[in-house]
Chain A
Amino acid sequence: SQQGEEDPQALSIQEGENATMNCSYKTSINNLQWYRQNSGRGLVHLILIRSNEREKHSGRLRVTLDTSKKSSSLLITASRAADTASYFCANQDTGRRALTFGSGTRLQVQP
């Protein structure tokens, strides 16, 4: 399977704290993307980082990518209760036209 792994599987924090999720993948990639999914809903694209980038910011989100370690991390700063969701990394490898999703992290932000 090309599916990557994410850790932690579940994370519970207090509002205002930062949340960090890690993702590892197996293949050579064109880019890595992060998606968010509220319970039972569709996935929403958060951020895309290209294979030649090391860090990217979008609002309260910071993504890093280390291609030598085949890993990425997503940092959500100053978390809010509304950030409660599952977060998935997804890689688009150099040979395929579709995304392969990691196992996901379930984030619970307590108000």
Chain B
Amino acid sequence: DTEVTQTPKHLVMGMTNKKSLKCEQHMGHRAMYWYKQKAKKPPELMFVYSYEKLSINESVPSRFSPECPNSSLLNLHLHALQPEDSALYLCASSQETGAMRTIYFGEGSWLTVV
């Protein structure tokens, strides 16, 4: 069983809505990630947080806004999304102990923008 918990599992939102995806881990990991995955495609990195600070933003549109309130929580705030943003959003975490780290994924949140 994954130790990275994502909520909600499914979200349907309109293009004018504001919603949030939430992610929680209790493994003491200090790095957390958001990935986006379209159908039959590999996950694509969106954001990386290290020690609660944003360290990588892969040129993601500002309608996606990440937040890391503490070392266990990671949010992704969504506003004014487009239908092409519909995808599986995966949260992940890893220890910050050098290069040889395994990344643990949650089950994902399925987002549909209508």
Contact = CB atoms under 8 A, between A and B. Distances in A.
Interface of A: 3, 30-31, 33, 35, 40-45, 48, 50, 88, 90, 92, 94, 96-104, 106
B76 interface: no
Interface in B64-114: 88, 90, 92, 99-108, 110
B31 interface: yes
Contacts of B99: 30-31, 92, 94
B55 to A, nearest CB: 6
Given A97-B48, A98-B33, A48 B100 contact: yes
Of A3, A42, A45, the most chain B CB neighbours within 10 A belong to A42
A57 to B, nearest CB: 17
Contacts, number: 62
Of A33, A41, A98, A104, the most chain B CB neighbours within 10 A belong to A98
Nearest to A104: B42
Interface of B: 2, 4, 31, 33, 40-45, 48, 50, 55-56, 88, 90, 92, 99-108, 110
A61 to B, nearest CB: 15
A43 B33 contact: no
A41 B56 contact: no
A48 B100 CA distance: 8
A33 B90 CA distance: 17
Nearest to A47: B102
A48 B103 CA distance: 10
16 contacts: A31-B100, A33-B102, A40-B110, A42-B107, A42-B108, A43-B43, A43-B105, A44-B105, A45-B103, A45-B104, A48-B100, A92-B99, A94-B99, A97-B56, A101-B43, A102-B42
A55 to B, nearest CB: 17
A3 B42 contact: yes
A41 B50 contact: no
